């Protein structure tokens, strides 16, 4: 979507929709690119409702307030509503493995000196972690792999690798957590199932102590579909993206609530 063209055309497109006593209007563009706060942190937008006021080959413009608009990249929308239709729009949101937003405050139970429990909610500004559903390991190398998956960025620069796994439908996690003395004969590993347009099956990430690198293996049943050797930690995100990420996470979910015909985009 051509941002310069949209900025130039927008005043003319929405001028008739703004009350006469309002001199300025606000708009946000949703084009699959990450949004940042005033402090420079990546932020996940909230879903919003509105009325479609413009629909052309490049953009769908939704009025969300008296003088507020959302500009959607038409190529990324899951529905193509008619002008006048009321819609619920859900841009991409990073999520955890339990389905909650990744920026949801973490809840934990603490105890008073007399043993009475109380609940605390904590959130680190700018943080949106997606922690693997794996208990604290005894093997340091498995611990390093978990930390790398949870903290290293995916190639898009917005998500971490674990967000990418959530978007790929990762489930049914297994892990190998050997004693230090067995690290060669029983390599540390994490396995999970995924289902994307690129690949559906089991993915395994195995640590090779001899070369201090990982192997990434794709399997369907007992058949090995593909195996990548010598994957270092700084290329792990790129390798996983090339194998399992189909890009559909960028789609802007549009649900037509009223006065529009459904035209599903593929």
Residue 266: band (very low, low, confident or very high) from pLDDT cuts 50, 70, 90: very low
Token pair for 55: 């629909």
Q: pLDDT per residue over 170-205, tens digit each?
A: 999 999 999 988 998 899 999 999 999 999 999 999
Whether residue 77 sits in one domain with residue 12 = yes
103: pLDDT strictly greater than 50: yes
Residue 146 lies in a domain: yes
Alpha helices, DSSP H, located in 105-206:
140-151, 161-167
CA distances from 33 to 72, 131, 207 (A): 11, 23, 33
Whether residue 241 sits in one domain with residue 137 = yes
Among residues of the chain, what percentage have pLDDT more than 90?
A: 65
- Asked if 172 contacts 116 with a C-beta cutoff of 8 angstroms, the reply is no
Whether residue 136 sits in one domain with residue 48 = no
The count of structural domains within the chain is: 2
Whether residue 212 sits in one domain with residue 142 = yes
Three-class secondary structure of residue 230 per DSSP: strand
**Domain span holding position 59:** 3-92+251-258
């Amino acid at each position: 979507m051509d941002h310069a063209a949209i900025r130039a055309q927008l005043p003319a497109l929405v001028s008739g929709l703004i009350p006469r006593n309002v001199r300025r209007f606000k708009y946000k563009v949703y084009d699959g690119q990450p949004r940042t706060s005033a402090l420079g942190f990546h932020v996940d937008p909230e879903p919003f409702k509105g009325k479609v006021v413009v629909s052309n080959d490049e953009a769908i413009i939704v009025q969300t307030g008296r003088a507020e608009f959302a500009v959607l990249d038409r190529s990324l929308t899951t529905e193509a509503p008619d002008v006048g239709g009321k819609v619920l729009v859900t841009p991409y949101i990073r999520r955890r493995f339990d389905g909650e937003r990744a920026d949801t405050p973490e809840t934990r139970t603490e105890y008073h000196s007399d043993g009475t429990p109380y609940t605390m909610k904590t959130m680190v500004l700018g943080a949106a972690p997606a922690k693997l559903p794996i208990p604290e390991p005894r093997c340091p190398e498995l611990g390093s792999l978990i930390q790398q998956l949870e903290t290293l960025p995916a190639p898009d620069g917005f998500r971490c690798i674990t967000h990418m796994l959530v978007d790929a439908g990762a489930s049914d996690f297994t892990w190998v957590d050997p004693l230090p003395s067995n690290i060669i004969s029983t390599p540390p590993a994490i396995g999970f199932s995924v289902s994307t347009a690129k690949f559906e099956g089991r993915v395994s990430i195995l640590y090779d102590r001899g070369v201090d690198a990982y192997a990434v293996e794709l399997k369907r049943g007992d058949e090995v579909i593909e195996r990548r050797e010598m994957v270092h930690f700084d290329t792990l995100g790129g390798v996983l993206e090339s194998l399992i990420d189909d890009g559909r996470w960028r789609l802007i979910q549009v649900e037509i609530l009223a006065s529009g015909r459904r035209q599903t985009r593929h």
